[in-house]
């Protein structure tokens, strides 16, 4: 073997380090530290935003209007027609109240403001029940307005509220 092939090993013998090398290493370490700090802060900020949004969702569903309206919606007999829901002003008002609140929550999940898992844990069953009770009315409203946009975010839900992956979010 040719000893010249291992010339790089002799570099270890050179212990002279100049000031510019030290400055370059310090600059590189500073940049790496700054990037790491920025990433940690961005993640912390995202978590804080999600917590604030979840708190707002909880406030929305704990309002007296939500509670009264959900009690009325829960009392709608299964299979009630749109005409039956519209015939009672109190039921119709409750349906609109619940629909509007769930629209806001649904869009917040879609926009990834509120984690789907939070909504599923808080009101997943309530959403399924409300959709089952109000579906005939909402479908009639869509037919009348010729728009599928009426309560579209309320209708969207994962196939199973235990599967809280956003890519599984579907609309019927």
Distances (CA, A) of 159 to 80, 84, 150: 24, 28, 20
Tens-place pLDDT, residues 93-125: 999 999 998 888 888 888 887 888 888 888 888
- Rounded (5°) CA angle 6-12-13: 100
- pLDDT at residue 10, rounded to an integer: 57
Q: Give the C-alpha separation, 31 to 36, whole Å.
A: 9
160 pLDDT higher than 50: no
Average pLDDT over every residue of 18-33: 90
Tell me which of 5 and 138 has the higher pLDDT.
Answer: 138
pTM attached to this predicted model:
0.64
- Taking all residues of the chain, what is their mean pLDDT, rounded to a whole number? 81
Give CA–CA dist 160/83, Å, rounded: 30
Record the tokens describing residue 106, joined without a space: 């649904």
Query: What's the token pair of residue 9?
Result: 């090993």
- Helices marked H in the chain: 19-61, 64-74, 82-87, 89-110, 116-145, 152-155
Give CA–CA dist 133/102, Å, rounded: 14
């Amino acid at each position: 073997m040719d000893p010249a092939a291992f010339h790089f090993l002799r570099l270890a013998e050179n212990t002279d380090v100049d000031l510019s090398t030290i400055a370059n290493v310090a600059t590189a370490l500073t940049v790496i530290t700054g990037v790491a700090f920025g990433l940690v802060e961005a993640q912390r900020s995202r978590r804080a935003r999600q917590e604030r949004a979840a708190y707002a969702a909880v406030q929305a569903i704990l309002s007296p209007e939500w509670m009264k309206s959900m009690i009325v919606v829960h009392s709608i007999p299964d299979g009630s027609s749109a005409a039956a829901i519209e015939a009672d002003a109190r039921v119709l008002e409750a349906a609109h109240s619940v629909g509007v609140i769930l629209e806001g929550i649904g869009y917040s999940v879609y926009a990834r403001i509120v984690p789907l898992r939070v909504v599923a844990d808080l009101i997943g069953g309530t959403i399924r029940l409300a959709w089952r009770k109000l579906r005939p009315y909402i479908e009639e409203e869509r037919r009348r307005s010729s728009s599928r946009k009426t309560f579209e975010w309320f209708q969207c839900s994962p196939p199973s509220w235990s599967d809280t992956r956003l890519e599984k979010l579907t609309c019927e």
